[in-house]
Every structure is written in structure tokens, then in C-alpha cells.
């Protein structure tokens, strides 16, 4: 035997009622349902409350509300019923509206609305809907009776939130049903006190009514029909990856609901819990769906937690002072004072020093709570042994719930790692002694980010998503986008890593979509994008407040690196092939690299030296394992390497420069390569990685070019000047060749200095083994002293550089739990 409950939205319209008829007629339900509990039509309860308020305030427009309400009930009746049932239904509706109007007129005349009268007014909503539905079901071939629950559910006289008397109520229900063999369509929410007055059961009252009927008849299950598929692992409006929970225990469901999962109101579970009757949450829009079953069995789950929930706006009140330390009875006085004001406390934490205690309430109760404390501890506050209570606002609570937490270690570590890694600071923490719930108070604006970060950490079975914001989609950024697109599936399927491109920009335009932009379409997307502004881009990135965000700078600009510090401070990792930040002022380099190390927010720049070759990471590994770099000798410019590797007299120097540019080896401005700035930047970065506090001016650069080339105002005139120097370059090459040598531009980092020089290398030189755009880094360390460590390979080019940037982005994903 089943008890079903349909909420307001499930009886609010013709379509909705059509769905109820279909559900009651399906084989799963037909002849198995004993009682259907209904709420008032959607909006009616609120409408009644509003009308009552108006009446009490002397505002005559309450009549209009009632007239509209009556028409709505009649319209639904007309849609489903024919005479004689239509007449019966309409005369019941008319009679009820007659009574209702008289009560409201009374309220209007007296100008007073007592809780008792309000309950009586509210009861009309369910009485109208249940009676209407019983007629409609009869008409559609499902014989049913109307049951006014006031006949059976008996309560105390606590109007607005009455408590039911289980024994009397259950007996009443059982004896009434013995006399009523048909399906019963019962009013939810309403009941009657022992002296016969109408009462209501408070928030979630219709669910409670259903649970009461279920408990009374020992139902096999109570089905709560609503508009969601069941209880979800998190609020799907905030967490897109949230999914339906199959089975959950009563206590877990209560904890989740307490913290904002609005599917069920906790007290409604109690009758079912006491009688061990399962509750199932089901979706009227997806009637074949299994829903969520709430039972007392301990149901195994593959996940360490059952769900994550939140309350989006709370206030935290802190009481502290020496007068609390070691004083027994302090907290009972504190919470006694709050209880007397009927304030419900959401969370409590106390420092073990007993010096302070803090608790959370809904913000609208913060003033009353603080006043209650001031009053209770008036003497202590006057004597300054207790401070005035301090209220912090604009906070939220997130709660991680699950009974498996008890037996699984590391849960709180995972929760706080996920929060910390995303720069979400935790204001207070509470763990219930039941170990069913870990709650953290955080800033209100971080709610969605926290929910997503924690949800991902526990539920996405190792899937790690990075929300990427990319500035610069020229050669390197554009190639990166192609690689992202190409590798998407392999990353997701084989490595459980998802790179979600949320923001993208070039120097003119920018575009965003938190659901993810298609990397292959960015060209088109940007055409329709908004004008680029770095400040606005950063602001947007922060205001999305997505968990696991990452920023990637694929520009050659000075301005973008200036923003890294601020980005890292927002707990957003930075990946870059742009050398400007690490080769700019030493203090800034230290600021961002130290911040990254201290806070654990990744700042990754492998491709700033030798593109994708593992140079930065190798130096770091050497240093971490206690080795010391004594000397580095290196060819660091892919462009210059290409030029000198191919400079054999058959092609003029300037033509090789043009070829290097065409191959994507040069900087956006090739003068940066030819005047050795680019190589010098890399030498400086390497020196700094080895612990040398050098500034750019300390790097000694031997120029390659004649002065006229330096003065060229643009790239084309630069090439013209360069052509004029072809003869001089050829002369220099030929002279070296005559001695069996070749030109190479080599950096030497040693004893606290960095120098770059155009050298003539003999045949046995390691730098003579280079081809194409090869870079080589020869590192002598304490351990690699007889034979140095050598990293060698292509050191410039779109594919290898973008690949290195991609690898750094994947490294960020790997730091996620």
C-alpha cells in the first residue's frame, strides 16, 4: 500500500493534474495507492496569506484576490468535469468561498488577524484542491473520496506550526479508512486541535501529512511527488554536475535538508523514521524515474559522502571573554536566552580554550540574537568579563554530509584542501559529533565556488576540471586551442581531465561562457565578442568565481604579466610562455614565485625557457633534491640557433632571419631575437632559478647586429638594414670557417653572473651538434660534475611551445584532488 503526496506545482494547472491522473492509472500505482495527500494549488497558500493581511489592514482588495482564486478553481473544474459532477464541485467551491469571504470580512471589520483565524483561512487552500481533485479522479475513472484531514489528524493548539498527537491520530486514520474502501484524496498541511479548531502543521506540512498517513496505515512507501528527480548530490542550480542520489538514510536526508537541500523539511521524516517507512522523492515530469529512496537501512555508496549542501546567507555571532573560561553553565545560559526568543541556531563552534563561542543564525535573526545575549549577560558585559557580541554578516555555510564519513579517514582533509586550493577562506568550522556532517562557514560570494570545488573533489570519480581563461590567441595561443580541441577526448576518457575554456581574448576582443567555449570556434566567437580590457577580463574571471580556474597568458605583452600577482592573490593559478614577468624587475619575480610557493597556487612557466623542453622543471628538481648548479652553458634562442646552424654561406644572413620568422621561431617582433633580448631574458630566468638575484641590466649581452639595425623604426625597415649587413655577417662567418669553426650564440651562467656572446665553436663543441631551432642547456652541478647534464631539442616553434603550455595546464589539473 502506498501513500502519495502531490505538492502545489503538481496540482497547479490542467497539465499538472493530467500528470497526476496518468500516475494514478499506471500499473505501478493503480490499486496500490491508499491515500493521496495534496497541497493547495500553486500560489494559493501565499495568496490566502496575502489576502488575510490585506483584510486585517483594512485594504478591501482582498476580495479581488479571492474572486480570482475562485475563478481559477472553477476553470480547472470546467476543464475536467461535466455535469452533474461539475455542479457538485462548483457548489462545494462556492460554499467554501462563501465561508472564506465571511471570515475575511470579519477580519476586515475587526482589523485583527489572530494565528487561530489565519490557520482557519489557510485551510481553505487544501480543502479546495483535495475536493476538486477527488471529483476529477472520479470523472476520469479512478473512484476516490475527499478526506478532510481535520477529521483525523489531531494536534495541540500551536497555531501555524502545530504538533500532532501520533497515537490518537493514527487510531483515527485507521478507523476512518476501515469505513472508506475507496482511494482517499486527503488535504495536506491542515489538522485540528483537540478542541476542534483548525490548525496547520507548519513548513513542509503536506509532506508531514503524507508521512502521518503512511505511518498510520503502515504503508509500504510514502511517495513525495515534486518537480525534481530526487535528492541531488548538490543543488543543481549551483552545481551543474550534481546528480540524483539513489538511496539515502533518514538521518542523512535530515542533515542535507537542514543545510538547504529544500526537497524535504526535516520534521516530515520523523513519522516515517519512527515506523521505518521508506519515503521516495519522485518527479511528476519524469514519472518513470526511480527518484530517491529514503530509508533507515544503511545503504552502501561508492562515494565517501552523500551530498553537499549550503545555506547561502547567514550571520555569525561571536561571544568571547575571560568570563567564559572554565565557567560551567555559560553555554546553557547563552542558548537558553536564544531559545526563549525562539531563535534557531544553525551551527555552533567553541574554541577548546573556552574563550570564545560562535554560532550561526539566519541574518534576519541576528539583531534579536545579539540583543538576547546583551540582556542575558548584562552584568558580565558591564564588568567587561564578557565582550559585546560581535556579528559578522554576508557569510554562508557549506555542509558535507554522509554517514560513511565516520569510517573513512581524510574526508575533512579533502574538503579543506578543495576550499583552500580555490582561495576560499574558512571563517568557522563545525563537525557534528555524529560525524555525519562537516560544516564550514565561508564568505557568501564563495558559496557556488565552494559547492562546486567540494562536489568535484568527492563525486567526479577523479575527473579534474580546469576552468581556463586564455589571453593571447596568436601563434602560440592559437596552436594551444587547436591542441586542446584535438586532445579533448583522450584527456577526458583516459586521464579524467577536462579543460573548460571559459574566457578568451586577443588584444581587441574578449568572450566568456562558464559552460565552456568551443576552442575550435574562438575566432568566430571573438568577432562577436566585446571590446578587450584587461581589467574587465580579470574582473569577469574573478566574478565567475569558478572552482579550479586557471589563467594563461599567451601574449608577448608587458601589461598582462603585471597582473599575475593580483591573479595569484585571487587563488587563480597562472601558466605562461611569456618571459616578461620572470625577466622583469627581480622583486616582482620574487613576489610572484614566492607567493606561488607559499600559498600553493601554481605559477608555471616552463615554456619561457627553451619552449617545451624540460629545463625549468629539471633545475627545480635538482634544487629540491639538494643539488647545486655550478655552471650553465646554453644556446637559448631557437631563432639564433636556426640561423647559425644553417649559415653556411649559401643563403644570406637576412634571408635566414626571414625564414626563422616564417617558421614561427621568432618573437612576434623578430628584433627581440636578433638583438639578443630574448636569449638574455631566458638567461636571466635561468640564473634566477639558480638563486642569483640578478636584474636584467646585470646580464652582459654581446650584440650581434650593427647599430643601424637597432635604430630601425619598424620590422620592415629592420629587415632592410639587416640586408645591408649581410656582407659583414658573411665575412665573419667565412673567417671562422677558415679556422674550422662555426658561429653560435651562447649564454654562460656562472658564479653569480650571466653573459651572452657570439662564439666561434670548434667541431667538437656540443653546440655544433645542433640542428634547426635546437636549444641546448649544459648544466654542471655538484652531482653532475664530471659529465654535465644536457637538455637538448627544438627550442622554438608553435607546436612544441603550445605543447609545453598545455602540459603546464594539465599539471594544474593534477594538483587538484
For residues 101, 104, 106 and 112, what is the CA-based torsion angle, rounded to 10 degrees?
Answer: 180
C-beta of 260 vs 797, nearer to ligand NAI: 797
Q: Within 49-108, which residues bind ligand LTNE7NMQ (CB under 6 A)?
A: none
Indicate whether 477 belongs to the interface with ligand NAI (CB under 6 A). Answer: yes
Task: Give the SS3 label for residue 397.
Answer: strand
Neighbours of 84 (CB within 10 A): 8
Neighbours of 97 (CB within 10 A): 18
Task: Give the SS3 label for residue 470.
Answer: strand
The entry of Na ion, ligand LTNE7NMQ, ligand NAI, none near residue 615 (CB within 5 to 8 angstroms by kind) is Na ion
C-beta of 676 vs 809, nearer to ligand LTNE7NMQ: 676
Radius of gyration for the alpha carbons in the chain, expressed in angstroms and rounded: 37
Indicate whether 402 belongs to the interface with ligand LTNE7NMQ (CB under 6 A). Answer: no
Distances (CA, A) of 211 to 4, 36, 218: 9, 11, 10
The entry of Na ion, ligand NAI, ligand LTNE7NMQ, none near residue 639 (CB within 5 to 8 angstroms by kind) is ligand LTNE7NMQ
10 Å CB burial of residue 517 (0-12, 13-18, 19+) is: buried
- Of 54, 414, 449, 682, the active-site residue reads 682
Indicate whether 476 belongs to the interface with ligand NAI (CB under 6 A). Answer: yes
Minimum distance from CB of 610 to ligand NAI (Å)? Answer: 8
Identified binder of ligand NAI from the candidate list 89, 155, 249, 801, rule CB under 6 A: 801
C-alpha span between 595 and 573 (Å, rounded) = 11
C-alpha cell of 361? 543564525
Identified binder of ligand NAI from the candidate list 259, 564, 665, 767, rule CB under 6 A: 665
Identified binder of ligand LTNE7NMQ from the candidate list 667, 689, 774, 808, rule CB under 6 A: 667
Neighbours of 306 (CB within 10 A): 26
Minimum distance from CB of 639 to ligand LTNE7NMQ (Å)? Answer: 3
C-beta of 338 vs 699, nearer to ligand NAI: 699
Place of cell 579543506: 416
Identified binder of ligand NAI from the candidate list 39, 320, 506, 637, rule CB under 6 A: 506
C-beta of 250 vs 589, nearer to ligand LTNE7NMQ: 589
Indicate whether 641 belongs to the interface with ligand NAI (CB under 6 A). Answer: no
| Paired sense of beta strands 574-575 and 603-604, if any | parallel
Minimum distance from CB of 682 to ligand NAI (Å)? Answer: 9
Identified binder of ligand LTNE7NMQ from the candidate list 638, 654, 770, 808, rule CB under 6 A: 638
Indicate whether 673 belongs to the interface with ligand LTNE7NMQ (CB under 6 A). Answer: yes
C-alpha 209 chain-centroid distance:
35
Number of residues that bind ligand LTNE7NMQ (CB under 6 A): 11
Q: DSSP assignment, residue 242?
A: -
Choose among 256, 254, 249: nearest CA to 297.
249
The entry of ligand NAI, ligand LTNE7NMQ, Na ion, none near residue 664 (CB within 5 to 8 angstroms by kind) is ligand NAI
C-alpha cell of 578? 611569456
Identified binder of ligand LTNE7NMQ from the candidate list 501, 677, 796, 800, rule CB under 6 A: 796
The entry of ligand LTNE7NMQ, ligand NAI, Na ion, none near residue 613 (CB within 5 to 8 angstroms by kind) is Na ion
Residues that bind Na ion (CB under 5 A): 606, 609-610, 613, 615
C-beta of 340 vs 620, nearer to Na ion: 620
Minimum distance from CB of 38 to ligand NAI (Å)? Answer: 59
To the query of whether residue 661 is one of the catalytic residues in this protein, the response is no
C-alpha span between 110 and 106 (Å, rounded) = 6
Q: Within 609-628, which residues bind ligand NAI (CB under 6 A)?
A: 611
Choose among 224, 298, 288: nearest CA to 262.
224
C-alpha cell of 655? 634571408
Identified binder of ligand NAI from the candidate list 247, 292, 422, 607, rule CB under 6 A: 607
Minimum distance from CB of 675 to ligand LTNE7NMQ (Å)? Answer: 12
Neighbours of 634 (CB within 10 A): 27
Q: Within 667-706, which residues bind ligand NAI (CB under 6 A)?
A: 667-668
Task: Give the SS3 label for residue 726.
Answer: helix
Place of cell 610562455: 577
- DSSP H helices in 322-410: 330-340, 366-376, 378-382
Strand order in the sheet with 742-750: 700-701, 753-761, 742-750, 629-635, 774-781, 789-794
Q: Within 521-550, which residues bind ligand NAI (CB under 6 A)?
A: 532, 534
Q: Is the peptide bond before 84 cis (omega within 30 degrees of 0)?
A: yes
Task: Give the SS3 label for residue 439.
Answer: strand
Indicate whether 665 belongs to the interface with ligand LTNE7NMQ (CB under 6 A). Answer: yes
Neighbours of 111 (CB within 10 A): 10
Distances (CA, A) of 525 to 216, 482, 513, 522, 591: 61, 15, 10, 5, 35
The entry of ligand NAI, ligand LTNE7NMQ, Na ion, none near residue 637 (CB within 5 to 8 angstroms by kind) is ligand LTNE7NMQ
The entry of ligand NAI, ligand LTNE7NMQ, Na ion, none near residue 47 (CB within 5 to 8 angstroms by kind) is none
| Paired sense of beta strands 753-761 and 742-750, if any | antiparallel
**Residues designated as active site:** 682
Q: Tell me which residues touch ligand NAI (CB under 6 A).
A: 471-477, 505-507, 532, 534, 554-557, 559-560, 577-579, 607, 611, 638, 664-665, 667-668, 796-797, 801
Residues lying near ligand LTNE7NMQ in the complex (CB under 6 A):
611, 637-639, 665-667, 673, 678, 795-796
Amino acid at each position: 500500500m502506498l501513500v502519495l503526496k502531490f505538492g502545489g506545482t503538481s496540482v497547479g494547472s490542467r497539465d499538472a493534474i493530467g500528470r497526476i491522473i496518468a500516475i494514478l492509472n499506471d500499473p505501478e500505482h493503480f490499486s496500490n495507492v491508499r491515500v493521496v495527500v495534496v497541497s493547495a494549488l500553486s500560489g494559493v497558500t501565499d495568496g490566502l496569506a496575502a489576502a488575510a493581511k490585506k483584510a486585517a489592514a483594512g485594504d478591501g482588495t482582498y476580495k479581488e484576490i479571492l474572486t480570482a482564486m475562485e475563478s481559477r478553481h472553477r476553470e480547472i473544474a470546467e476543464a475536467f468535469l461535466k455535469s452533474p459532477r461539475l455542479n457538485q464541485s462548483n457548489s462545494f467551491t462556492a460554499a467554501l468561498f462563501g465561508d472564506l469571504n465571511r471570515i475575511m470580512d470579519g477580519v476586515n471589520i475587526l482589523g485583527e488577524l489572530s494565528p487561530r483565524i489565519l490557520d482557519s483561512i489557510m485551510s481553505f487552500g487544501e480543502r479546495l484542491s483535495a475536493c476538486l481533485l477527488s471529483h476529477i479522479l472520479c470523472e476520469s475513472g479512478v473512484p476516490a473520496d475527499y478526506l478532510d484531514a481535520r477529521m483525523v489528524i489531531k494536534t495541540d493548539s500551536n497555531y501555524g506550526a502545530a504538533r500532532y498527537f501520533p497515537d490518537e491520530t493514527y487510531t483515527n486514520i485507521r478507523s476512518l479508512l476501515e469505513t472508506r474502501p475507496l482511494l482517499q484524496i486527503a488535504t495536506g498541511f491542515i489538522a485540528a486541535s483537540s478542541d476542534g479548531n483548525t490548525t496547520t502543521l507548519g513548513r513542509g506540512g503536506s509532506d508531514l501529512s503524507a508521512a502521518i498517513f503512511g505511518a498510520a496505515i503502515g504503508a509500504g512507501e510514502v511517495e513525495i511527488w515534486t518537480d525534481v528527480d530526487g535528492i541531488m548530490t548538490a543543488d543543481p542550480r549551483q552545481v551543474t554536475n550534481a546528480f540524483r542520489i539513489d538511496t539515502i538514510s533518514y538521518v542523512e536526508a535530515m542533515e542535507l535538508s537542514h543545510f538547504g537541500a529544500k526537497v524535504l523539511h526535516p520534521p516530515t521524516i520523523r513519522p516515517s523514521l519512527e515506523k521505518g517507512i521508506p519515503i521516495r522523492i519522485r518527479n511528476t515530469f519524469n514519472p518513470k524515474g526511480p527518484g530517491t529512496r529514503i530509508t533507515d537501512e544503511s545503504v552502501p555508496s561508492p562515494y565517501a559522502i552523500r551530498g553537499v549542501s549550503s545555506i547561502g546567507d547567514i550571520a555569525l555571532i561571536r561571544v568571547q571573554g575571560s568570563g567564559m573560561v572554565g565557567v560551567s553553565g555559560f553555554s546553557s545560559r547563552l542558548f537558553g536566552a536564544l531559545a526563549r526568543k525562539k531563535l534557531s541556531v544553525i551551527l555552533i563552534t567553541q574554541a577548546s580554550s573556552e574563550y570564545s563561542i560562535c554560532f550561526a543564525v539566519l541574518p534576519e535573526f541576528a539583531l534579536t540574537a545579539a540583543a538576547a545575549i546583551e540582556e542575558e549577560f548584562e552584568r558580565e558585559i558591564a564588568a567587561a568579563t564578557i565582550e559585546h557580541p560581535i556579528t559578522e554578516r554576508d557569510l554562508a555555510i557549506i555542509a558535507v554530509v554522509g554517514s560513511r564519513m565516520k569510517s573513512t579517514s581524510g574526508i575533512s582533509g579533502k574538503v579543506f584542501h578543495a576550499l583552500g586550493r580555490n582561495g576560499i577562506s574558512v571563517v568557522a568550522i563545525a563537525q557534528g559529533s555524529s560525524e555525519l556532517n562537516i560544516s564550514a562557514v565561508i564568505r557568501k560570494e564563495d558559496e557556488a565556488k565552494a559547492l562546486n570545488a567540494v562536489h568535484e573533489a568527492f563525486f567526479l570519480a577523479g575527473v579534474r576540471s580546469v576552468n581556463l581563461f586564455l589571453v593571447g590567441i596568436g601563434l602560440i595561443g592559437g596552436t594551444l586551442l587547436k591542441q586542446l580541441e584535438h586532445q579533448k577526448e583522450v584527456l577526458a576518457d583516459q586521464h579524467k581531465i577536462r579543460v573548460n575554456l571559459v574566457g578568451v581574448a586577443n588584444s581587441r576582443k574578449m568572450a566568456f561562457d562558464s559552460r565552456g567555449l568551443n576552442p575550435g570556434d574562438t575566432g568566430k566567437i571573438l568577432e562577436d565578442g566585446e571590446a578587450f580590457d584587461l581589467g574587465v577580463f580579470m574582473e569577469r574571471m574573478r566574478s565567475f568565481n569558478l572552482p579550479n580556474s586557471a589563467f594563461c597568458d599567451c601574449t608577448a605583452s608587458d601589461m598582462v604579466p603585471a597582473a599575475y600577482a593580483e591573479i595569484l592573490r585571487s587563488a587563480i593559478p597562472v601558466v605562461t610562455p611569456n618571459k616578461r614577468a620572470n625577466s622583469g624587475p627581480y622583486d616582482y619575480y620574487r613576489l610572484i614565485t614566492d607567493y606561488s610557493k607559499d600559498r600553493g597556487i601554481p605559477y608555471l612557466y616552463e615554456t619561457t625557457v627553451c619552449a617545451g623542453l624540460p629545463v625549468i622543471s629539471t633545475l627545480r628538481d635538482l634544487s629540491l633534491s639538494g643539488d647545486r648548479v655550478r655552471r650553465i652553458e646554453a644556446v637559448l634562442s631557437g631563432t639564433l640557433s636556426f640561423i647559425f646552424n644553417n649559415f653556411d654561406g649559401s643563403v644570406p644572413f637576412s634571408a635566414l632571419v626571414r625564414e626563422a620568422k616564417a617558421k614561427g621561431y621568432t618573437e612576434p617582433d623578430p628584433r627581440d631575437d636578433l638583438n639578443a633580448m630574448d636569449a638574455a631574458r631566458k638567461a636571466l630566468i635561468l640564473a634566477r632559478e639558480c638563486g642569483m638575484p640578478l636584474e636584467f641590466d646585470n646580464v652582459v649581452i654581446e650584440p650581434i647586429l650593427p647599430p643601424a639595425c637597432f635604430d630601425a623604426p619598424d620590422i620592415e625597415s629592420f629587415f632592410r638594414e639587416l640586408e645591408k649587413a649581410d656582407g659583414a655577417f658573411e665575412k665573419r662567418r667565412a673567417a671562422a670557417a677558415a679556422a674550422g669553426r662555426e658561429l653560435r650564440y651562447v649564454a654562460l651562467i656562472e658564479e653569480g653572473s650571466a653573459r651572452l656572446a657570439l662564439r666561434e665553436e670548434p667541431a667538437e663543441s656540443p653546440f655544433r651538434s645542433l640542428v634547426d631551432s635546437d636549444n641546448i642547456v649544459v648544466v654542471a652541478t655538484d652531482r653532475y660534475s664530471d659529465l654535465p647534464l644536457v637538455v637538448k631539442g627544438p627550442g622554438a616553434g608553435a607546436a612544441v611551445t603550445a605543447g609545453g603550455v598545455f602540459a603546464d595546464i594539465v599539471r594544474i589539473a593534477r594538483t587538484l584532488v
